Structure 1
Amino acid sequence: MIDHNARLKAFVKLGTFFQEFCEFANNNANSSENDISKKEDFSQIVSSAKNYNGWFTKENVLLSIKSWGDLLTEKNLNTWLKDYNLSSNKKKTVALILAGNIPLVGFHDFLTVLITGNKAIIKLSSNDKIMFPFIAKYLTYVEPTLQEDIVFTEGKLENFDAVIATGSNNTARYFEHYFSKGPNIIRKNRNSVAILTGNETTEQLEALGDDIFMYYGLGCRSVSKLFVPKGYNFDTFYKSIYKNHPIINQNKYANNYDYNKAVYLMSEFKILDNGFLMLKEDSNYGSPIATLFYEEYNTVEELKSKLETDKEKLQCVVAHNFSDNEIIFGETQKPQLWEYADHIDTVSFLITI
């Protein structure tokens, strides 16, 4: 018999640990002395994460950990789960294939599988392979019954009842072929866009900078394209996002900026450039690092029709008074527990299969 409440409390304790760890990592004098040896161990892991993925700077890793620390409270978890009948769930083994584009990007799937009373067999991305084992170790430390239900594997996935896999459009074709015989959620490439009208406040555009630059724009919730009215003047936009200019001091970002700029110039593409972000008019959604695509629109109705047609390509639409499902400026990287990737309710999926 699965004790769902015990699992919930384990994740609450993990959330507290995450919050205290961020204080500890930032050398805060008020940091709690609880689990000090575990914080020291986790600190070494956070510091070495960059060796596996050059984009995983300490700042970005701590940003992700703090976000999860803020989410994993008893109130948030209960609010998220209150409308589901978890007791109806028959325990099953779920294979998780996790991405590694931003730190702990697969944590929501990991959390959902375990908190609904299931077993997780986890195949980690080589880009994010050292933090999850520590987290699993901490969870089994506070709730030993979880030990048999968290399994990491580097080999072929076998003996599972369902699969949740995240990858590119190319890997998704492989996943769909290989896992088509059983229940599955296969996630492909998605991108996020922002709708501008020219009436945005400076505060809104400054917040949009967070949507664009957090995690270097590598997440599916990162804004990679703007839709702007014909004749839009980008001066105010560029002035508002200037606070993000230190990003060019990050070597990997700077290298991508230099490379993509050279490609555009050699190809004689028309671009706008402020020294750390290029704007290129393009009909595609996924822009390269240090580049933001933009596209002009004639009417709001026409744009709504286009985005409805392309909704399977989109993760977030940032806007103000554009649609019921819009996300406000600055909030794309702060989803609540009940805001599901690709808008697929993974809790319902797990308890009904």
Structure 2
Amino acid sequence: NYKINGKSIRKSHFDLLCRIQPNQVISLILSDDSYTPNQSQLFRSLVSIEQFTRLRSLKLIELDDDGASFFSDLYKLKHLVSLEINLKDKLPFIKTSPPLQRLIINIESGVHYDIDPLITMIQSEHLRQLTLSNCSCSKLQQIFHRAIHLISLKISLMFTDAKEMAILINFHQEQSKIIALKSLSLSIEGYGDTITRAHLEGFLTPLKCLRKLELIISCFIEPECYDANQWEIFIIKNLSRLMTFNFNFSHVRIDKNVLNQYRHPFWMNKCWFVATDESYSSIYSVPHFSSTSIKYSSIPISSKYTTLPIDQHITCYDRVTQLEYDSGRRKAHYRYNYIEKIYLTNLNIDKNAINLSKVKSLIVKNAQWTFSKILI
């Protein structure tokens, strides 16, 4: 059994991989991103997808035609249980699909498609893991009704009017079976109306089996939605199995009293720590939603804006992968261990403060520096 991963692979190596007998391959990843352009075209010139009779997992990354050339024959892959698509330009058309157990469709942030036609063609009866963007509430209701074995769901909803948003309140009204969902990531965007506690509780209350919950709300919400005391009561009563709870609420107006509610034992004992920005306009879980980008000159995290214990502040810095090195005057309070990209505006780098072994990109922001000066 072979697993072929074409992501970031050299063309010469990929040519060798394509010599493997297709019926011996159980997992295949193809990519047309900037590191491996035209890979899917080369693949199609050598083999056809229906030859992979034992294929169980297929991942397509930014294909030039967004995978359209593969999907017409997708139903012929009788053993395919996992399909993942990273879209580049357009939504693919799947005529029909095999009985998938895992379906992930990743859409670039800020890009919106009408994904409903695609969902209609997917056989969801066997789905256990599903990731979708820009899904409508009505289609999501159909998914819950048909995908009775679903245990993990990552979904984003875009609301344009109050009527559509109101569906959330009675979302599960016609659902008679127990919902076995254990992991939920729900992202809500919209304009024109406000998310209320009734919306959230109406959607979440029947999900008694949930162990992991992530909420991302990027529209206006009423203060009750981020009231820690009300969340505590709701979770104890309705989501007693919940082990992990991460949220990110923007467009809010909070004060110190709101943050102090999250210092109560219920939250601290579960290690459900939160933080707010300095303008108190957002509240989010840390380190889960801590920023991955930072300026070297930024002031250290203040306990005034977070419930995270001071000895755990390092966990936020460990999430940082992009660093703007704009000053060498301040001594770093923490070491940056996972930096992949550095924006350089100052050459006095404190090498003890940054692990340079993981850096993949160096962007120089001073056109007057010579190459030799940077190397020194």
TM over 0.5: no
Pick the structure with greater CA Rg.
2
Q: Which has the higher contact order (CA 8 A, sep 6+)?
A: 1
Structure richer in strand, relative to its length: 2
Normalised by the size of structure 1, how large is the TM-score?
0.24
